[in-house]
Structure 1
């Protein structure tokens, strides 16, 4: 089949790799004049790593393999740890990786021809046809909208953007210090029940730190405030190391509002469907967005000839994941994590990762 993909991010590139390997003629159209490598980092749980390996993505030296997720109290006491080496053993040696989004996109893009600078001005979902700003057109047997939360393909299908802010935001940035964190194999999290701080190594001498908190438009933590680092230091400067050092050294941070998205049972029409954020935007609270996009791409390689079946199958899983992630649960837990033994937390995490993955439920029984 001739497959047109709008969007050259994680979802679009992954679908292009998988479908090309399956023997389809794939064309990717990206509005940006250059590869879209902006953003922070991505956590890839075992299913995502397994899918990337199936798609022949070179992961040698990519990001940082994580061995633990450790929760600290606001005073620095260890509350609990999820053993990711046990998670890895359970999933047949597939590791958990934390990787800069730039590196993931660059590795996905290897060998994938992407037409950059292609602004889509018209979409005919029933004919799988695109019209571009220069007046040219393209038509395929299948059209995939992988163009993010403000998807032009999604608008053509339903007439609007179904995502909405949920009142939470993230402030984040990369850091090269402290060295014992950058070179570690664990992610650290601190929550006071109202906000979350986290830092995780991303490989190549860097780590990403971030704070999730409630914020309203026009408020102290909304938008590109020039004194945002002073505000973050005031709010979180008393939190334990490494957060104090990170905040002292940071000069700026990136702002990302969280969005939620009601996931319908049917995403497309005729020869057109959606994947990734275009189909199911979700907050970053449990690091599921990119993983679910990879799951979409994997599922499409198995059911490109029945797009409604793809949507129904994926909707069941994604709806459950989006509902859980939308609670912003990691930010709300706080000291309650100390009440759960580490072994039980690890078993619960394994169960959660399996339930969040069609790749494990359907593809690796």
Structure 2
């Protein structure tokens, strides 16, 4: 089949790769002038690393394998630890933290993409898209993988359904040596002031991020010229390596959190959606890239039943999306230290399966 893919992010590239591997034709059109490598890094759970293997995208040596996910208090006390190797043993694939640039480069290898080509109009009923250069392309199937501001979704759903959650993320990398940089430990520190996350990303890099409450016109919003100073004031008293990282900040990226209800059916006729265009969710559950890969994997084998693909994926994607929409992981939970590491490890291992069509099918 001939498939037109709009968008060359994680979902679009992974889908095109899967389609080509299966013997289909795939044409990818991307608005950006080149591969979009901006952004921080992403955590890929066992279902996603398994999908990368199926896509023949060799992730060996890319990023950093994760062994634990730890919750700390602001003063550095370890409250609980999730053993991620339990999920690795259960599902046969590791959890890996990788820079987004490395992930998209891995997925883009061998995939033909036409860059600098915005889509101006979509006719869902005919799997047809009019490009900015005046050409019209048509396939047996058209997939909108063009993100939260999706042109394809607008043709299907109308106005953008996503709303601000009231939280934002400021993030970046540090190459300053820390006690975590060369480890396999992910750390989340939640308190009344917000959340700080720290995860090694390989090659001497540590991803840091701060989640705080904010809205347009308020401090910590994207146009806040004092944001670095404000972050230092708010989090500078927390345990190391937080103060040291705050002092090194030069480049910093801003991401407002959006959420929306995921409908059971996304598309119409021969047109469907994948990735953030179908299920925008806050990053608090570290599921955005994972759900995009899940879409790509299932859709590549479901071209003959697009509504079946949408129902299967919406049922699963809703689970992390609903929890992420509460922003629960950003909030201080004094009772968390009463839970046992063994209990939370078993719970998390189970949740990873419930969040993955691949793992639900394979195990």
TM-score category (smaller protein): over 0.9
Shift of 1:306: 0.5
Q: Which moved more, 1:244-253 or 1:164-173?
A: 244-253
Give 2:154's aligned residue.
155
Give 1:141's aligned residue.
140
Contact 2:179 2:241 (C-alpha < 8 Å) held by counterparts: no
Shift of 1:167: 0.5
Contact 2:294 2:358 (C-alpha < 8 Å) held by counterparts: yes
Q: 2: distance between equivalents of 1:324 and 1:206?
A: 29
Q: 1: distance between equivalents of 2:148 and 2:289?
A: 13
Q: 1: distance between equivalents of 2:67 and 2:157?
A: 42
Give 1:210's aligned residue.
209
Matched, 1:75 2:75: yes
Q: 2: distance between equivalents of 1:157 and 1:117?
A: 23
Structure 2 runs not aligned, ≥5 long: none
Secondary structure of 1:279 counterpart = helix
After superposition, where does 1:167-186 map in structure 2 within 5 Å? 167-186=166-185
Q: 2: distance between equivalents of 1:176 and 1:335?
A: 32
Give 2:239's aligned residue.
240
Q: 2: distance between equivalents of 1:138 and 1:350?
A: 43
Q: 2: distance between equivalents of 1:296 and 1:134?
A: 29
Q: 1: distance between equivalents of 2:320 and 2:167?
A: 18
Q: 2: distance between equivalents of 1:235 and 1:80?
A: 24
Q: TM-score, normalised by structure 2?
A: 0.98
Deviations 1:212-237 (A, max 9, x none): 11102111111132221110000110
Q: 2: distance between equivalents of 1:336 and 1:196?
A: 17
Q: 2: distance between equivalents of 1:59 and 1:139?
A: 33
Shift of 1:257: 0.2
Q: 2: distance between equivalents of 1:104 and 1:336?
A: 36
Shift of 1:251: 2.2
Matched, 1:307 2:291: no
Q: 2: distance between equivalents of 1:336 and 1:104?
A: 36
Give 1:107's aligned residue.
106
Shift of 1:48: 0.5
Q: 2: distance between equivalents of 1:8 and 1:180?
A: 36
Contact 2:20 2:26 (C-alpha < 8 Å) held by counterparts: yes
Shift of 1:118: 0.7
Shift of 1:193: 4.8
Runs of 4+, deviation exceeding 3 Å: none
Give 1:131's aligned residue.
130
Shift of 1:194: 5.3
Deviations 1:6-64 (A, max 9, x none): 00000000000111111110000000011011111110000000001100001021100
- Alignment: residue pair count: 363
Contact 2:74 2:238 (C-alpha < 8 Å) held by counterparts: yes
Q: 1: distance between equivalents of 2:31 and 2:6?
A: 8
Give 1:16's aligned residue.
16
Matched, 1:25 2:25: yes
Contact 2:177 2:204 (C-alpha < 8 Å) held by counterparts: no
Structure 1 runs not aligned, ≥5 long: none
Shift of 1:90: 1.2
Give 2:357's aligned residue.
358
Shift of 1:187: 0.8
Give 1:7's aligned residue.
7
Matched, 1:49 2:49: yes
Give 1:328's aligned residue.
327
The alignment's C-alpha RMSD in Å is: 1.0
